[in-house]
Amino acid sequence: MGRKVAFITGGSRGIGKEIARKFAQNEYNIVVNYVSDKTDVAELEKELNQNGNVEVLCVKGDVTDFSTCEQMVKDAIEKFGTIDVLVNNAGITKDNLLMRMKEEDFDKVINVNLKGTFNMTKNVISYMMKQRNGRIVNISSVVGVSGNSGQANYSASKAGIIGFTKSIAKELASRNILSNAVAPGFIETDMTDVLSDTVKESINSQIPLRKMGKAEQVANAVYFLGSEENTYITGQVLNVDGGMIM
């Protein structure tokens, strides 16, 4: 048997890149989807393949477009012959109070976060069903569980991902395809780095562990649920949030 293959959307930076790195470290071949023209593909491949013993395929594409997702999946299958793990990580925020939220900002967030998850999953499962094995890990958020002021669009998209995850877990279990969601809380990223110390202290005071999480901690949870170590967990939401939501 050849190496297993993990496909990560939005995998060129932040949590997505950390997830891709974790699978690469465990000798999975990697397919990374990215959307920005600024992405340095050669550098990304080099970063993910530090051991030099896995193959990395970078595919540019907008997950909101169904035919683009179809083509990216075909490219991955053409190169590797299989997709064993799908991680739906691509996501955006366009925060505002509902009173001020523009319709296009609601639509865009739903399209990337929720419809993008549908587009990718729909195109991957036919291959997983044929091989009667697969792991799907969808990145939700604690605000998909709790809601959050100023994030009606984002919270709705992430709550939708939870419902989607549980539904496909029931549909696909007979084919040994496990579907779970990981819901990060406050994680140290480029977005949180710019916050003032006062804001960071306020955030940390809401977290029982009194600190933000790291992308690596999210990646560890995603890797476990997506790997062959997980053989009996499906339809679950794992909060990686320092105890913020209990």
Known catalytic residues are 154
Under a CB-based contact definition with an 8 Å cutoff, are residues 65 and 115 in contact?
no
> Which amino acid would we find at residue 222?
V
Other beta carbons within 10 angstroms of residue 25's beta carbon come to 14
CA atoms in the 13 A half-sphere facing the CB of 31: 30
Under a CB-based contact definition with an 8 Å cutoff, are residues 29 and 5 in contact?
yes
For residue 67, give both structure tokens.
């035919």
- H helix runs in 132-232, sequence order: 143-146, 152-172, 190-193, 197-205, 215-226
Q: Give the separation between CA 85 and CA 4, rounded to whole angstroms.
A: 8
Other beta carbons within 10 angstroms of residue 133's beta carbon come to 15
SS3 state at 163: helix
SS3 state at 8: strand
Alpha-carbon torsion (240, 163, 8, 93), positive or negative: negative
For residue 58, give both structure tokens.
């970078």
Q: Give the separation between CA 188 and CA 210, rounded to whole angstroms.
A: 13
